[in-house]
Amino acid sequence: MRLRQRPPIDQGAVPWLLAVALATASPHAENLPPWLSLLFAAALLWRAWLWRQRRPLPPRWGLALLVLGALAGIAWHYRSLLGRDSGVAMLVLFMALKPLEMNTRRDALVVVMLGFFLLLTHYFYSQSIPTGIWLLASCTLLTAALIRLHGGAQPLADIVRQAGLLLLQALPFMLILYLLFPRVSGPLWGLPQDAHAGRSGLSSEMAPGSISSLILSGAIAFRSQFAGEMPERADLYWRGPVLDSYDGLTWRSSAQQTGRPRSAPAIESKGAQYSYTSIIEAHNQRWLLALDLATSLPAGATQAPTLEVLAREPVRTRSRFSFTSSVDYHVSRVEAAAILQQALTLPEALNPRARALADRWRSRPPARIADAVLSMFRNEDFHYTLQPPLLGVNAIDDFLFGTRRGFCEHYASAFVFLMRAAGVPARVVAGYQGGEVNPVDGYLIVRQSDAHAWAEVWLAGEGWVRYDPTAAVAPSRIEHGIVAALPEGEPLPGIVGLDVDWLRQLRYRWEAANNAWNQWVLGYNPQRQREILSRFGIPNADWQSMSASLAILCGVALLLVTVWTLPRRRRADPAQRAWNRYCTALARRGVTRAAWEGPLDFARRVAVERPHLAALTSEAARCYAGLRYGQGNSEQLLVLQECVHRLPARWRKNA
């Protein structure tokens, strides 16, 4: 049995398919190993050259060897062929090499379908507005490539117009599916372990330079919107991990906070409480960055013994949480002995000069010791900078008695070390301080550049009290933000250093648009879906009612689109109607006009088959041809209409 030959690809369609490959795969270049990006570019340029020169494609055995070598390179680079990053790399490899064996229309369809699939993978890395716009443009290009592939050579404007029309027809279905498709709390498919890699934010450890790297980033950590009055900027301390274990170089969270939960901390608010909602960016950690100190927690959250608010699972997607907090309080006046003991622990035989200084203060009350440390930072020659000198093994001694230059983590670390060496329980708190209100949407934006570290000291009768040694050295850091505290000439963090009014206003509007996109598109979760559907008269919507509504509305939309897209029946003009009636009358008498047969040819055939109708049919045909293709007049139309009535009522079939 002979196999049917597959139709070859039109040469004019090749540039469209190369454009498809470039548009769908090139944005992944920043996430791919450089050698794979170079291979992709070289493969497309090679295929374009072959098309231009009309050269034959390379042999398949050569491509097979290239695929095997590239797969080995991907496996070596990612240490696996499984996972998000390695999977995307393989798709890009296939998109690069498939055009080099693209001979038939079937091969071209594989490239287009691979392009559609590659579009989905971009959301693994970015779900921003520019990504959405790029993917919409790429989807239009893919649809246009299909039109060019099957429709042949056409004007570019016609192809783009038809592609846009097809996407416009899909718009009602997109909106219906967006509103009614049952949402789930997690992703629709299980992602590999590396799907959540690369999240930025605070770490559970604080080593030299860890916070300064965050401070140089203008990325948004979270947004908060207060239900009423907002605290003063100096009170905006957002608590992250509490670091109470020190090895001489790095501060870490001890096992106390990850052990068995204890009873809720005793919090006594001394002033106003603030209610607010925070939209926290994914940071792959459990802490929820509540305003210090949270008195009301989101559902499912807990408060650790060290007072930070923890979610059940790490925050791997942008999430919304509601809190109530107090900024003036007493907390844990009676504290567990294990926690206090942990807050006194120091490594042996390190920083002898700092220990000697603390020993001289040991006889003072704890609050006076804290004041003495702050007074030293405030009155002596200490400087705030993001470019401090390197420190040695005795880092605290080198900082206090040598360099005296550093940023928040240096001052918080030295403060806590001195307090512990003087016999006072103390610990480091990492988090964020401050924020900037966006006047467009009213949200307080807290960036990575607002990352901060401060100290907590336990005082008998008062509990844990916040001390910020950075405020003693650079009060402008707390009052006006990081930019105001940095010496002139130091690098500024991200986009927050821009001090041009029109750029700042543009940034406000862009970030407000992103916030709306995040909440109403990316953040369209089951709770928000129920809220929206209740406004449309579907209260307490479950998956059964949503599925039924989805089927009904999709059916209605399909019917409307079908009615709109069906070719409308053209209304025949009077000459056409008269000629059709004449031909129908002849068909009843045994002479049927073929669809391809013109009026004069039909008249000649009638003259042969029905000689007694030759003159009448010839007259009708000449009148119709003049009306249809020439400069006909009303008299010809009247003659054509009368010809139908002049046909004999009865006649013999073979006359």
Q: What pLDDT band is residue 592 in, cutting at 50, 70 and 90? A: confident
Residue pair 115/138 in contact (Cβ under 8 Å)? The answer is yes
Q: What pLDDT band is residue 655 in, cutting at 50, 70 and 90? A: very low
pLDDT above 70 coverage of the chain, percent: 89
Please state the pTM of the whole predicted model. 0.69
Tell me whether strands 302-303 and 309-310 are parallel, antiparallel or unpaired.
antiparallel
Can you tell me which residue has the tokens 């507005």? 129
Active-site residue 408, yes or no? yes
Q: What pLDDT band is residue 63 in, cutting at 50, 70 and 90? A: confident
Mean pLDDT is highest, among 366-380, 473-487, 551-565, for 366-380
pLDDT of residue 187: 47
pLDDT of residue 157: 86
pLDDT of residue 244: 92
Residue 257 has pLDDT above 60, yes or no: no
pLDDT of residue 651: 46
Of 95, 94, 96, 74, residue with least CA distance to 85? 74
Tens-digit pLDDT profile for residues 103-146: 888 888 999 999 998 988 888 887 788 888 898 999 999 999 98
pLDDT of residue 361: 94
Active-site residue 480, yes or no? no
pLDDT of residue 452: 92
Give the active site residue among 283, 468, 623, 643: 468
Residue 174 has pLDDT above 90, yes or no: no
pLDDT of residue 237: 96
Question: How many C-beta atoms lie closer than 10 Å to residue 53's C-beta?
Answer: 8
Give the active site residue among 283, 292, 397, 408: 408
Q: What pLDDT band is residue 190 in, cutting at 50, 70 and 90? A: very low
Bridge partners (DSSP) listed for residue 274: 325
Question: How many C-beta atoms lie closer than 10 Å to residue 131's C-beta?
Answer: 14
Mean residue pLDDT of the chain comes to: 84
Give the active site residue among 235, 397, 452, 623: 452
What backbone phi and psi angles, to 5 degrees, belong to 541?
Answer: -65, 130
3-state SS of 23-40 is HHHHHHHHHCCHHHHHHH
Tens-digit pLDDT profile for residues 520-558: 777 777 777 777 777 777 777 776 777 777 788 888 878
Of 121, 169, 166, 172, residue with least CA distance to 142? 166
pLDDT of residue 493: 62
Residue 256 has pLDDT above 60, yes or no: no
Domain layout of the chain by residue ranges = 11-154, 205-497, 574-646
Residue 166 has pLDDT above 70, yes or no: yes
Distance in angstroms (rounded) separating the CA atoms of residues 481 and 447: 11
3-state SS of 249-284 is CCEECCHHHHCCCCCCCCEEECCCEEEEEEEECCCC
Residue pair 24/117 in contact (Cβ under 8 Å)? The answer is no
pLDDT of residue 38: 93
